[in-house]
Structure 1
Amino acid sequence: MDGPVQIPFKSFIQLKPDETTAIYLQIVFEFIKAIQLGLLPEGTKLPGTRILCRLLVVNRNTLIKAFQDLEAQGFIEILPNKGTFILSDQKKKNTNEAVPGKKKLEIPASFTFKHSSILENPVEVSDLALQFNDGLPDLRLVHTDVLARLYVSKLKRQKAKRTWEQIQTQSHLTFKKQFSNFLNLTRGLRISESNLLTTTSHEISLYLVTKLLISAGDKVVVAAPGYYLSNMTLSDSGAHIIPVPIDDEGINTAYLRKVCEEHTIRILYLTSNYHYPTTIPLSAKRRMEVLELATLYGFIILEDDYDFDFHYDNNPILPLAAFDSHERVVYVGSFARSLPVGFGYGFVAAPIAFIKELEKHQNILEPGIDVIKEQVLTDWIQDGEVHRLSKKNRKIYKERRDYFAFLLTEKLKGRIKFNIPPRGLAIWVQWLDKFNLVKFQEKCAANGLFLPKTILYQTKSFTATRLGFGNLDKKEMEDAVAILGSALEALIPSRIAEISGAPLYSLKKQ
């Protein structure tokens, strides 16, 4: 650590000449205490003895004697022609080595606080070259150079005639207007900027909505299997979660009706257009039934459409919010997931009064607005660059989806069944063999392929994985699928499966 003379030694080295303890020992004790408290971190370079003598008002011979004692105990190291350095860890290491088998003591916090078992982060990190995820885009396709130029250009154009608050307010209003128009055009909504809240991420949007809508004990229906992150957010808000099964048409509305008859439901949480994790879209008939049930039983539909950017047909399914004539839908989504982290947005589209209340809470959680980022994205929307980038990326991801489906069929024939989803960056693969997914994960990792536990689904009725293909090029897909095959072969010998008429994969729309 440079600049040793800037360290306020006199604030923590308190010497008392009137005490019977020798001054050099007082110096030793005070330095040890400072080191143990972290006031002098390991590697800190101490001032020269003459400078330190003037700071502490002590005799140089006294200080040298104290330093010799500290060095002997392993708290400092004196290097000729280089200086004196703190070795705070050396003492700990010497102590541990002196007492074999001694465990490091954990010092408890001096205050109590709430602990959450619900919000334990399930995300795993691996340094393996090949990795499946739950459907994330490929960062290698991001136009970072273009964004960087636009960002710098906007920074240079700011006029000094207006205050930063004026620039911020006007820029944000312009962005919201362009963004609401973009949502109306792409998602069939009928909203103004007053119906829109923009946030820094999809997760922040979901958190704010649940904070306002859910009280402890409120009953919230979710489709099962469901989205683990949203379930964590709902549970942490105090919701009592009621799972409703899905089938080939999405959430089972007959089962949902029965639940509504037996309980007072506050919210139905849906990833309607692209159910997470199974990728099944809600059928047209079921969509109308859900809206009717919401009106009949008075619950709110919290529609999460985080993956709208990636659809591969010319007529994408519009969200429930586009058909909501009774204002029962709160629509949460994400924007520009193909852009670098920090450039994407989360948003909420809802009735004006609800948006105003959300803004109060957002002002505490996210008080600042990145004006430059909003101006860049406003230009991208106005110039049509967002549409061009989205179209280009969809073409690339569609090719990857189709090739990934081809590889799964060729390499794992008779071992799996799946449908090709009309949107998204992942395929829901059901395994026809019964085996332990954790052991399967370990076999894959041993061969260089990482399968995070968040994409593994195993119950009594099915064994499945949600395999994201968006982050893999063709060669990486080939290698990854080959490892899946070899790992399965190691667990279960080859066989020819009878699939009861179900296709290995289908190009038809789900």
Structure 2
Amino acid sequence: MLPWKTIIQLQKDSDCPVYLQIANSVIQEMRKGRVGPGIKLPGTRQMAEILEVHRKTIVRAYEELDAQGWIEMHPSKGTFTSKELPEINARRFSNTVKQKNFAATTGYSVKVNTVTRSPSLPLRHITGFHDGPDMRLIPADEIGRAYKSVLSRNTYLKFMSYVETPGVQKFRIVLSDYLNASRGLQTTFENILVTRGAQMAIYLLTTILFTKGDTIIVGDTNYYYADHVFLEAGMQLARVKVDEYGIDVDAIAKLCTRKKIKALYITSHHHYPTTVTLAAARRIQLLSLAEKYGFIIIEDDYDYDFHYLSSPMLPLVSADTKGMVVYIGTLSKTIAPAIRTGYIIAPQNLILELSRLRQLIDVQGDPIMELALTEMFEEGHIKRHMKKALLAYHKRRDFLCGLLNEKLSDIIEFKIPDGGLAIWAKFHKSVPLPPLTEKLKSQGLILSNGLIHNTSPISLNSTRMGFGWMNETETEYAVEQLTKAIRSK
């Protein structure tokens, strides 16, 4: 008999169930050839005594091995390792020479997109002024427990199959309650379509609502990836200046008298990229203009949860009584970018059309994650995380702004933002951003060159400097390196 106690090494503190450890050990030994084909295995009772585990554990291990084809179970004779390994090597369908390298280019023409920039490496492994949340602050343990809890419940097994295209109803109910309480909305779950982040929401809305040649008003400057979704759809962008009170609504009114406006895209709470908040008077005026001229307002509220004043201004959609506002939000900023959970809030007829389109590109979202987030909302984990994260980011904002005022006030002009995770920094013309950022990158520090925010040939020489990504020690180091790079010129 083979020394099974030596062959099968069990780790009692492992998250992997014992029966799977046993099955996996047998599989590995068979792959290596140390356990050959056609070998009789000990009976379940005998193997249980050898490994000092419960007999039911061995029964489950053998059932797993049998299901995968590694063993053959004969009631009258016993259990044997399979004579042939269940893994099948692919056969070539021709006698041609084996391909040494994959083709470098296609053998057919591919339309080149000259409008949108190529994807770039995020470089998040390098310290710097990254725009986004700090992954060290996310409630990782709570996410893991909630996800595991969902997978362990037999009542949730049905969600491993296909679910409602707009998203799991239970999650949409919880999300609706949360948005109604925090943003002054009056939604039901039927007003919500869950998406994979806010970007997917913009794409779906553009495809459903607009046609080539439609004009959409956007800020000057504006969120790059929203602009390029509109441009990809063949839309015309009408840019309107953004000042310290948000987008210029008087300019929008004048524009509406000169041409037909189909829609307006706005990040009202913290304008992207400048971080300014749209003033209350302008919000009222903007809703009135939308009703008068019949244009759609797409309100992208990507970081509503991160606001440092005691009473954040409610979104435009909270005062919309005519169904002119489509509201977009995301939990990817609130929790973590890898959690691709966004949403669209709209009247039911639009949600239905969006659901129809969504089936063509992504039949459904991630129901297990949606259920895990549901548990986290119900158990208060998300609320506690947001409260702790908000305090941390508020402190980091003040720390970075204090250092910049102390060391680089003659070079960098900025206003302390009321919310968000970045400041909008305008650099003195004597310090052009592109060469500065390349110099910093070579020294192991990331700062965006700001080119993505230029919407005309004239360089803004401005960029977003994220403060959420770094703790105070890292921020102090980053500002020190930035100061040295600038002063050493």
TM class, shorter-chain normalised? 0.7 to 0.9
Decide which of 169, 172, 176 is 2:168's aligned counterpart: 172
> Which digits, 9 at most, give the CA deviation of each residue in 1:450-473, with x for residues without a partner?
223457656758432210111111
Counterpart residue number, 1:486: 484
Counterpart residue number, 1:12: 94
- Structure 1 CA distance, aligned partners of 2:128 and 2:157? 51
Does residue 206 of structure 1 match 2:289? Answer: no
Indicate the RMSD between aligned Cα atoms, in angstroms. Answer: 2.8
Counterpart residue number, 2:403: 407
> Which digits, 9 at most, give the CA deviation of each residue in 1:3-26, with x for residues without a partner?
9993425x322xxxxxxxxxxxxx
The DSSP-based 3-state class of the residue aligned with 1:449 is: coil
Shift in Å, 1:164? 5.8
- Structure 2 CA distance, aligned partners of 1:194 and 1:302? 19
- Structure 2 CA distance, aligned partners of 1:127 and 1:277? 20
- Structure 2 CA distance, aligned partners of 1:34 and 1:413? 66
Decide which of 217, 221, 232 is 2:228's aligned counterpart: 232
Q: 1:270 to 1:461 in 2, by over 3 A?
A: same
- What amino acid does structure 2 have at the position aligned with 1:12? S
The DSSP-based 3-state class of the residue aligned with 2:262 is: strand
Shift in Å, 1:343? 3.0
- Structure 2 CA distance, aligned partners of 1:170 and 1:301? 21
- Structure 2 CA distance, aligned partners of 1:145 and 1:365? 32
- Structure 2 CA distance, aligned partners of 1:367 and 1:256? 38
- Structure 2 CA distance, aligned partners of 1:5 and 1:244? 62
Does residue 129 of structure 1 match 2:126? Answer: yes
Counterpart residue number, 1:471: 469
Aligned residues: 404
Decide which of 197, 210, 233 is 2:193's aligned counterpart: 197
Q: TM-score, normalised by structure 1?
A: 0.73
Q: How does 1:314-353 map to 2 (within 5 A)?
A: 314-335=310-331, 337-353=333-349
Gaps of 5+ in 2: 1-31, 33-84
- Structure 2 CA distance, aligned partners of 1:306 and 1:409? 28
Q: 1:489 to 1:299 in 2, by over 3 A?
A: same
- What amino acid does structure 2 have at the position aligned with 1:463? N
Q: 1:158 to 1:118 in 2, by over 3 A?
A: farther
- Structure 2 CA distance, aligned partners of 1:228 and 1:163? 36
Q: Is the Cα–Cα contact under 8 Å of residues 193 and 343 in structure 2 kept in the other structure? A: yes
Decide which of 279, 291, 296 is 2:275's aligned counterpart: 279
- What amino acid does structure 1 have at the position aligned with 2:335? L
- Structure 1 CA distance, aligned partners of 2:235 and 2:141? 44
Counterpart residue number, 2:292: 296
- Structure 2 CA distance, aligned partners of 1:352 and 1:5? 50
Q: 1:108 to 1:441 in 2, by over 3 A?
A: closer
- Structure 1 CA distance, aligned partners of 2:196 and 2:162? 21
- Structure 2 CA distance, aligned partners of 1:425 and 1:279? 9
- Structure 1 CA distance, aligned partners of 2:345 and 2:205? 11
- Structure 2 CA distance, aligned partners of 1:419 and 1:174? 41
Shift in Å, 1:427? 0.4
- What amino acid does structure 2 have at the position aligned with 1:129? I
- What amino acid does structure 2 have at the position aligned with 1:302? I
Q: Is the Cα–Cα contact under 8 Å of residues 194 and 365 in structure 2 kept in the other structure? A: no
Shift in Å, 1:316? 1.0
Decide which of 238, 248, 251 is 1:252's aligned counterpart: 248
Q: Is the Cα–Cα contact under 8 Å of residues 269 and 301 in structure 2 kept in the other structure? A: yes
- Structure 1 CA distance, aligned partners of 2:187 and 2:156? 34
Shift in Å, 1:400? 0.6
Does residue 116 of structure 1 match 2:113? Answer: yes
- Structure 2 CA distance, aligned partners of 1:172 and 1:236? 31
> Which digits, 9 at most, give the CA deviation of each residue in 1:194-218, with x for residues without a partner?
1111112111111101111110000
> Which digits, 9 at most, give the CA deviation of each residue in 1:412-460, with x for residues without a partner?
1222221111110000112234332211112222332122345765675
Choose 1 or 2 for highest CA Rg: 1
Q: Is the Cα–Cα contact under 8 Å of residues 166 and 193 in structure 2 kept in the other structure? A: no
- Structure 1 CA distance, aligned partners of 2:159 and 2:466? 46
Counterpart residue number, 2:97: 34
- Structure 2 CA distance, aligned partners of 1:163 and 1:460? 52
Q: Is the Cα–Cα contact under 8 Å of residues 224 and 243 in structure 1 kept in the other structure? A: yes
- Structure 1 CA distance, aligned partners of 2:428 and 2:150? 55
- Structure 2 CA distance, aligned partners of 1:176 and 1:481? 42
The DSSP-based 3-state class of the residue aligned with 1:243 is: strand
- Structure 2 CA distance, aligned partners of 1:235 and 1:389? 37
Structure 1 ranges of 4+ moved more than 6 A: 2-5, 160-163, 166-171
The DSSP-based 3-state class of the residue aligned with 1:131 is: coil
Q: 1:441 to 1:328 in 2, by over 3 A?
A: same
- Structure 2 CA distance, aligned partners of 1:444 and 1:119? 26
Q: How does 1:148-163 map to 2 (within 5 A)?
A: 148-159=144-155
- What amino acid does structure 2 have at the position aligned with 1:486? K
Shift in Å, 1:160? 8.5
Percent identity over paired residues: 33
Q: 1:350 to 1:413 in 2, by over 3 A?
A: same
The DSSP-based 3-state class of the residue aligned with 2:488 is: helix
Counterpart residue number, 1:85: none
- What amino acid does structure 1 have at the position aligned with 2:482? L
- Structure 2 CA distance, aligned partners of 1:187 and 1:301? 17
Shift in Å, 1:140? 1.2
Counterpart residue number, 2:217: 221
Q: 1:254 to 1:148 in 2, by over 3 A?
A: same
- What amino acid does structure 2 have at the position aligned with 1:8? R
Q: 1:480 to 1:8 in 2, by over 3 A?
A: same
- Structure 1 CA distance, aligned partners of 2:444 and 2:159? 55
Does residue 386 of structure 1 match 2:394? Answer: no
Q: Is the Cα–Cα contact under 8 Å of residues 309 and 336 in structure 1 kept in the other structure? A: no
Shift in Å, 1:325? 1.4
Q: Is the Cα–Cα contact under 8 Å of residues 245 and 276 in structure 2 kept in the other structure? A: yes
Q: TM-score, normalised by structure 2?
A: 0.76
- Structure 2 CA distance, aligned partners of 1:463 and 1:7? 56
The DSSP-based 3-state class of the residue aligned with 1:118 is: coil
Q: Is the Cα–Cα contact under 8 Å of residues 456 and 466 in structure 1 kept in the other structure? A: no
Q: 1:153 to 1:418 in 2, by over 3 A?
A: same
Shift in Å, 1:241? 0.6
- Structure 1 CA distance, aligned partners of 2:197 and 2:124? 26
> Which digits, 9 at most, give the CA deviation of each residue in 1:63-89, with x for residues without a partner?
xxxxxxxxxxxxxxxxxxxxxxxxx47
Shift in Å, 1:125? 3.9
Counterpart residue number, 2:356: 360
Q: 1:162 to 1:370 in 2, by over 3 A?
A: closer
Counterpart residue number, 1:500: none
Gaps of 5+ in 1: 14-32, 39-87, 93-105, 492-510
- Structure 2 CA distance, aligned partners of 1:280 and 1:163? 41
